[in-house]
Amino acid sequence: MLEQIALIESAVWEAGPEAVSERIALITEKYELLSEVQATRVSLAELRAEAKALAQRSHNNPPELVDTDMSVIRSVEIIWTELGQAEEELEKPDPSPSRLRRISAALLEACKTVVMYCAELGDIALKNAAKEVGSTGAKWTIRVLAASYAAQNPGIQSLAVRIFEFAGKLPNLP
């Protein structure tokens, strides 16, 4: 970050302290977004590892796994992939505003798909909980929590919005 601040164009420095302050704020915001994207990917990586472990359990008489809607699986993978692309783009000295906007839109759309699935799943889980408690109830709870974490987490949605807003500031640089 300090190197990028030191390499601010001469025209910005000559424009005065306000222009320099705006540019430094933008550089700082970029690195804050990058840090948040990286932290979110670490959290999602842990969740993905737990989900894989659940799918591969091998004890006697395990409860059956319930198929997850393919659109949700794709959406969670889209979230993972788009966060990776956001990280890659934010690591560049001059990130592309159009690419950041596209990444933001894809993140929000994927979150929307998973949120809708979670609402439907939560309704089913509540109905099933009234009928049966135990392994099936735990199975539904795990699915609701995992999907909720991936998309209802306000952090991912607000991060997508912040990326979009940041992209809007980029073309306005002096």
Q: How far apart are CA 57 and CA 158, in angstroms?
A: 35
Structural contact between residues 107 and 82, judged by C-beta atoms closer than 8 angstroms = yes
Per-residue pLDDT at 159 exceeds 60? yes
Is 21 among the domain residues?
yes
Please give the single-letter amino acid code of residue 149. Y
Q: How confident is the model at residue 34 (pLDDT cuts 50, 70, 90)?
A: very high
Residue 76: CA atoms inside 13 Å, Cβ hemisphere, count? 22
Q: With 0-12 CB in 10 A as exposed, 13-18 as middle and 19+ as buried, what is 117?
A: buried
Q: How far apart are CA 136 and CA 130, in angstroms?
A: 12
Is 9 among the domain residues?
no
Domain range for 107 is 17-56+68-168
Q: How confident is the model at residue 92 (pLDDT cuts 50, 70, 90)?
A: very high
| 109-135: pLDDT as tens digits | 888 776 666 656 555 554 555 455 454
Per-residue pLDDT at 149 exceeds 90? no
Is 43 among the domain residues?
yes
Is 1 among the domain residues?
no
Q: How far apart are CA 130 and CA 137, in angstroms?
A: 9
Is 12 among the domain residues?
no
Is 6 among the domain residues?
no
In what helix (H) or strand (E) does residue 42 lie, and over which residues does it extend? helix 17-55
The reported pLDDT for the residue numbered 78 is: 81
Q: How far apart are CA 27 and CA 8, in angstroms?
A: 10
Please give the single-letter amino acid code of residue 95. P
User: How many structural domains comprise the chain?
Assistant: 1
Residue position matching structure tokens 């159009």: 98
Where b means 16+ CB within 10 Å and e means fewer, 33-71 reads bbebbeebbeebeebeeebeeeeeeeeeeeeeeeeeeee
Is 2 among the domain residues?
no
Is 45 among the domain residues?
yes
The number of angstroms, rounded, from the C-alpha of 75 to the middle of its chain's C-alpha atoms is 11
